[in-house]
Amino acid sequence: MRPYLSLARMAWSTLLIYRGEFLFQLAGVVVQTVALFTVWQAVFAGTSGGELAGLSWEQMKGYIFVSFVTGTLLSSFTDVQLAGRVLSGSVALDLVRPIDYQLSRFAESLGYAIGELFIVAVMGSTLLLVFGGAALPDPGLAGLFLLSLLAVLPLKFGLVYLVGLLCFWTGNFHGLSLSRVAVSSILSGALVPIALFPDWLQLLCALSPFPGIVSTPALIYLGEVRGAEALGLIAVQLLWIAVLWGAARLLWNAGVRRITAHGG
């Protein structure tokens, strides 16, 4: 356990060293979030009854806030760090270290997340103040929301890590990263709540791990799902974490054989 804690601390230190790069990348998420607030504010202003998909404007602000938080955790900074090891070839050095590669990268991601959480809390709160605050979660759902939010970290890591491993075959990362972000933004409900999608797209979302990144914690935060239904959605998050973790193991083994075959 101690080596992984050390890796998490080193990752936190790296974030401080490259804080300019991290903040620049985070600024892009902030701009997108401000745009979402502005667009949805205009949409609700033109909606009769003041509700859309069962959500009021106050609830939608809370939804966008959760989307901002989950979208920033394991940001593109983490993306680049994971893929960079494969592209630079430094992954070959990790093969001789007596620690698990996947757990090591997850520990580093948690280290980055510590810094991300602090900055996200400040920026997110500022955004909410600018737009007049938002609905707060029901105190009775706070525990379930926190549990769902914590599950976002390993779930999102699984997706980011899998995309990073694909660099063993592509030799390029930016196209993969852009594709992952685009697909995730749509199927997770980050841009538009899944309830507003046509039935076929809602089904596609339900068959993917992406709703667990935004939609699940957001719906629990807003009290749209409670009790057994909320626990069921969290169970789906945990199931996808296990599936992605296992899939990453298989892809890593295949990637390692590729290194060995080329004399690495």
pLDDT in tens, 32-56: 778 888 888 888 887 776 777 778 8
Strands (E), the chain: 51-52, 55-56
Provide the domain limits for residue 178.
2-261
The region of weakest confidence among 149-153, 175-179, 193-197, 224-228 is 175-179
The number of domains in the chain is 1
For 57-69, write each residue's pLDDT tens digit.
Answer: 888 888 888 888 8
Contact 179/185 with Cβ under 8 angstroms?
no
Q: Quote the DSSP letter at residue 132.
A: T
Show the tokens assigned to 127: 């955004």
3-state secondary structure of 2: helix
Residue 6 vs residues 2, 13, 85, 108, 111: alpha-carbon distances, Å? 6, 11, 18, 9, 9
Q: How far apart are CA 124 and CA 112, in angstroms?
A: 18
* Predicted local confidence at residue 56, as pLDDT: 84
Q: What is the pTM of this model?
A: 0.85
Count other Cβ atoms within 10 Å, centred on residue 184: 21
